[in-house]
Amino acid sequence: MLPVELTQTVLDLPVEDRLELARRLVESVVWPASLNAAVAEGIRRIEDVAAGRTAGLTEEQFRSALQ
């Protein structure tokens, strides 16, 4: 498990810096080629929501989609 101090330091970073760190961490993992495109698409979609280019789901919409 990560030390509490490291976790808190990362969570205190601005959104853009946390997204860049998340991108780098995901890219540092060796993925099978078929997953690379899916991971890249997931990161792109997260960035779109964080940047306001795409509206995210409300909690109600998210829970409805799970059913």
Cα 12 to the chain's mean position, in Å?
16
According to the model, what pLDDT value does residue 9 have? Answer: 93
Q: Which of 11, 31, 35, 8 is nearest to 21 (CA)?
A: 11
Structure tokens at 17: 């810096």
How many domains in the chain?
1
> Which residues in the chain land under pLDDT 70?
1, 30-34
Q: Which domain does 36 fall in, by range?
A: 4-66
Distance between CA 60 and CA 57 in Å, rounded?
8
Please report the pLDDT score of residue 13 as a whole number.
Answer: 95
